[in-house]
Structure 1
Amino acid sequence: MAMITVLCQMALLGLASAQVDKLPLMKGVRDLYPKFDADLPAPQKYSFTKWSADDIHRGIPRNGAWKDSLYDTESDRYCKDDFSVYNVAFADCPEPWVVGHCAKGAQSKETTFDVLGRLPSSARGVISDLIYVKTAPNHGVRGVAAHSATLGGKFSSTEGLPMMLGALLHDLPDTSEDEFAEAVAADTCVVDERAAADLKKGQYGWALEGALSVAAYLKLVKTPPLDASCMNNQLKYLSPFLDERWDAPGQCPNKIAPTLVQHKPFLFPDGLEVLDADPVPAADAQIIQWDKSDGYPQHCWNMSQTVSDTTDEVLCASDRLNVYNLTYSDCPGQEPWTVCHCSDSQQSVDTMVTKFGRLPAGLRSHVRHLFVVGHKHIGYSDSVNEWNFLLSVGDASDESYMTAASQIASREFVSSDTWKNAVSQDLCWPEPIYELDSPQYKVFASTGAVYLYDASGKSLLERGYDASCMKHGFQALGKYIGSDYRRSSKCHDRLPNSPIVHPDDANL
């Protein structure tokens, strides 16, 4: 595996699209790293404690290298039987760093600890955690994902410095890309040959990381001297960020704590869409279309006029926006739902009515308005909870209606200790989730859809799935609102329709 850095992502995005020609200051900036050895402090003394299996189960850093090492048996990095996690406290800072170490690698845990120990606590604090991973022979890896660092293979004791610089880049302001590009434009060179080549492709990531390395060299290394005057503007821009972090006074200044997440397998690793192959029954509905002169519900109209970032067109032009009243057979005597439909949607009106009708009456009653719009490439549903508004896009699946409606129904319960504790006790997630910092919101929505299928008259076991690994979430949702997910549920009062607006009104 080649050496990697988080800046690869920035390089892919590019900080400017125009081709730029600049001379390189040197052949390769990595040639500078060994020269830091004489000027970095000696490794700090440290003490460490080993995590228990329960500690690991409660949460590990979200950097994917941790999951690969501990849980992914298909990964080349898998090392569970030889993997340990430590809290490492250095003499200059009582707050520990989380360090994971695979004993199958070429370097010992002590050598790994020393990589952090050669940085002063102020600089070390930008690294939240460090993992040493297993690699193939004669291969190495160095990476930084946000503030979480990864090492593998053989490395020098100075590796902590480039890791620190990579993590520091994540603390730059949002405007740094444009400001750095302006600095490059004002200079006559960039750091090395790779940076010069990348600039010709409109990619600034390596130039930015390399310039920060040069700034560190000029700050820390006395000999041999380096004339970097040709990139003076880049250094003038970046050096204050380095100085602020490196020279911060006190013990453990601005130390960044690791983000720990609980690893669990997925009951539906390919997503809940697999359940749609055996759909739940749908209530029939009477459909009445509004005349254009009747206007539009304000929430539908406002949403329809949202301008797309990719097409610069509104989500649904008024000539394609239609409004319907839907009176479902399982809600006799109730006010009909007022729903909006864009005529170019991949979902026909009948399909929309069927998918919405697959929500049990109780769950459907949490939805104030439904709006269906088109999209050629994706299909999903989401909610605007403050409006009790369900938006369905493209060829959306049944389960996406269910998860979006569950988001609306979740309300304050999703943030309660009751729900959080239930989720933490479960042994699996319903499906892959990405907001692992606060998973309870997404997990409630997914659990709602799974609960609905289980309560539909054909249980999950009958469908071939054992959901016992998420029984605590099932029980908590059931006590909170489970009756609304049953086919026998009844309609209940919902928010009144949003005000009616007319596009030709002078105030619109």
Structure 2
Amino acid sequence: MKYSQVAAALCLFATSMAQPWHSMVAYPDLSTFFGQRIWDSSVWTPNTVTQWPAGTLPASCASQMQARGCSASHVQVYNVTYSDCARPWVFCRCDYAPVSIGRTADIFGRMPVHMRSMVRHPMIVPNPDGQCCCAAPDDGDLMVAGDCPIETFAHEVSHLIDNRGDVFGEDFSSKSTFVNALAADTCSISNYGNTNGRHEEFAEMGVVALYNVNTNLLPAVDSSATTGCFSNQLSAIKTKFGSQFYAYGGTCVNRQPDSLTQPATKRVRVKRENLVGRAGWCRYKQD
């Protein structure tokens, strides 16, 4: 199945399209150029999945699920332990979400462990658009609706890297290193990154960095673009974050504490504990 990003109103926080950064785009749709390549070059990490007994769940799961119409009584909770980290990730899944815990755990585990370490709770949430792939990070949690590919996970985790990988709460994409790199380049990385703000350009570049850091390869750019037209952005991200987050190997480090456990019967107050790292929902169409 092919996934492609819809270039209009993808993130629900956006009220209008930003002015394009450049007239030239290297890869109009990243999934077309990188989807299969990233999958083929990814490293599968063995995992074990253990479901929690019914009755309790992490507080952030209760809040995020309730906000999306899934009550706590419908939330399944799992410990997913990967071979490269002794501490499990606590996943939450709405029991009527269309994607299984096994598939989501496998795709999440194909990201480098240091990318995974940025995520507190992966959540499989109800699909708001039926068959769409939609995803968002919020307060360190990663919410995914629909059958999303690895590049979607990498894009969303790159938002967390952008916002927390350098100085917590300060977007690297808004700092002079990245701002100047984008200005010095002659193209944006994708149609989506070109028209939805620097934070989305960074997240799209994060997908490219994941592939390039681990293969030292790049696919040929679109016929309308020039080879090397995004080299300054890629260099900035690789220099700052390449070995720290995007390279395979190592073990989990600097993970956030899990959200506090609460009874499933506890009344949920829908709120966000911390707006840091919230990029908004991104929608991806499935063809």
TM-score under structure 2 length normalisation: 0.75
> Who is 2:135 aligned against?
381
Which letter maps to 2:238? G
* Superimposed CA distance per residue, residues 415-447 of structure 1 (whole angstroms, 9 cap, x where no aligned partner): 1111111111122222112774x7210011111
Unpaired runs of at least 5, structure 2:
1-15, 164-169, 270-287
Q: Structure 2 vs 1, CA of residues 361 and 445 (structure 1 numbering), >3 Å: closer, same or farther?
A: same
Q: Structure 2 vs 1, CA of residues 379 and 504 (structure 1 numbering), >3 Å: closer, same or farther?
A: same
Q: Are the counterparts in 1 of residues 75 and 93 from structure 2 also a CA contact under 8 Å?
A: yes
Q: Are the counterparts in 1 of residues 47 and 82 from structure 2 also a CA contact under 8 Å?
A: yes
> Who is 1:326 aligned against?
80
1:488 to 240, 246, 249: 249
How many angstroms apart in 1 are the aligned matches of 2:23 and 2:59? Answer: 42
Matched, 1:424 2:183: yes
SS at match of 1:443: helix
- After TM superposition, give the deviation of residue 281 of structure 1 in Å: 2.2
Using CA pairs under 8 Å that are at least 6 residues apart, name the structure with larger relative contact order, 1 or 2: 2
SS at match of 1:433: helix
Matched, 1:286 2:48: yes
How many angstroms apart in 1 are the aligned matches of 2:194 and 2:28? Answer: 16
> Who is 1:355 aligned against?
107
Q: What is the aligned-residue RMSD (CA, Å)? A: 2.4
Matches within 5 A, 1:74-473: 261-272=20-31, 274-278=33-37, 279=39, 280-293=42-55, 295-307=56-68, 314=69, 316-331=70-85, 333=86, 335-375=87-127, 376-384=130-138, 387-411=139-163, 412=170, 413-433=172-192, 436=195, 439-456=197-214, 458-461=215-218, 463-464=219-220, 468-473=228-233
Q: Are the counterparts in 2 of residues 382 and 404 from structure 1 also a CA contact under 8 Å?
A: yes
- After TM superposition, give the deviation of residue 451 of structure 1 in Å: 0.6
Q: Are the counterparts in 2 of residues 297 and 498 from structure 1 also a CA contact under 8 Å?
A: yes
- After TM superposition, give the deviation of residue 303 of structure 1 in Å: 0.8
Which letter maps to 1:476? A
Which letter maps to 1:444? F
- After TM superposition, give the deviation of residue 362 of structure 1 in Å: 0.8
* Superimposed CA distance per residue, residues 357-391 of structure 1 (whole angstroms, 9 cap, x where no aligned partner): 1110111111111101232221032111xx11111
Which letter maps to 1:479? T
Which letter maps to 2:147? D
Q: Structure 2 vs 1, CA of residues 357 and 507 (structure 1 numbering), >3 Å: closer, same or farther?
A: closer
Q: Are the counterparts in 2 of residues 414 and 444 from structure 1 also a CA contact under 8 Å?
A: yes
* Superimposed CA distance per residue, residues 212-247 of structure 1 (whole angstroms, 9 cap, x where no aligned partner): xxxxxxxxxxxxxxxxxxxxxxxxxxxxxxxxxxxx
Q: Which has the larger radius of gyration?
A: 1
Q: Structure 2 vs 1, CA of residues 434 and 330 (structure 1 numbering), >3 Å: closer, same or farther?
A: closer
Matches within 5 A, 1:39-50: none
- After TM superposition, give the deviation of residue 263 of structure 1 in Å: 2.3
How many angstroms apart in 2 are the aligned matches of 1:261 and 1:464? Answer: 22
- After TM superposition, give the deviation of residue 474 of structure 1 in Å: 1.1
Q: Are the counterparts in 2 of residues 266 and 428 from structure 1 also a CA contact under 8 Å?
A: yes
How many angstroms apart in 2 are the aligned matches of 1:490 and 1:433? Answer: 32
- After TM superposition, give the deviation of residue 459 of structure 1 in Å: 3.9
- After TM superposition, give the deviation of residue 449 of structure 1 in Å: 0.9
* Superimposed CA distance per residue, residues 283-331 of structure 1 (whole angstroms, 9 cap, x where no aligned partner): 11111111112x1111111011115xxxxxx1x2334311111111122
Query: How many residues matched?
Result: 236
How many angstroms apart in 2 are the aligned matches of 1:443 and 1:330? Answer: 30
Q: Structure 2 vs 1, CA of residues 351 and 506 (structure 1 numbering), >3 Å: closer, same or farther?
A: closer
Q: Structure 2 vs 1, CA of residues 490 and 260 (structure 1 numbering), >3 Å: closer, same or farther?
A: same
TM-score under structure 1 length normalisation: 0.43
Q: Are the counterparts in 1 of residues 174 and 198 from structure 2 also a CA contact under 8 Å?
A: yes
Which letter maps to 2:255? R
- After TM superposition, give the deviation of residue 467 of structure 1 in Å: 6.3
Q: Structure 2 vs 1, CA of residues 468 and 501 (structure 1 numbering), >3 Å: closer, same or farther?
A: same
Which letter maps to 1:368? R
Unpaired runs of at least 5, structure 1:
1-145, 147-258, 308-313
> Who is 1:244 aligned against?
none
Q: More helix by proportion, 1 or 2? A: 1
* Superimposed CA distance per residue, residues 336-368 of structure 1 (whole angstroms, 9 cap, x where no aligned partner): 111111232232111101110111011111111
Q: Structure 2 vs 1, CA of residues 414 and 270 (structure 1 numbering), >3 Å: closer, same or farther?
A: closer
How many angstroms apart in 1 are the aligned matches of 2:61 and 2:268? Answer: 17
How many angstroms apart in 2 are the aligned matches of 1:488 and 1:467? Answer: 30
Which letter maps to 2:24? P
How many angstroms apart in 2 are the aligned matches of 1:448 and 1:507? Answer: 35
> Who is 1:477 aligned against?
237
Q: Structure 2 vs 1, CA of residues 330 and 441 (structure 1 numbering), >3 Å: closer, same or farther?
A: same
Q: Are the counterparts in 2 of residues 380 and 397 from structure 1 also a CA contact under 8 Å?
A: no
Q: Structure 2 vs 1, CA of residues 299 and 273 (structure 1 numbering), >3 Å: closer, same or farther?
A: farther
Q: Are the counterparts in 1 of residues 63 and 268 from structure 2 also a CA contact under 8 Å?
A: no
Which letter maps to 1:469? C
- After TM superposition, give the deviation of residue 399 of structure 1 in Å: 0.7
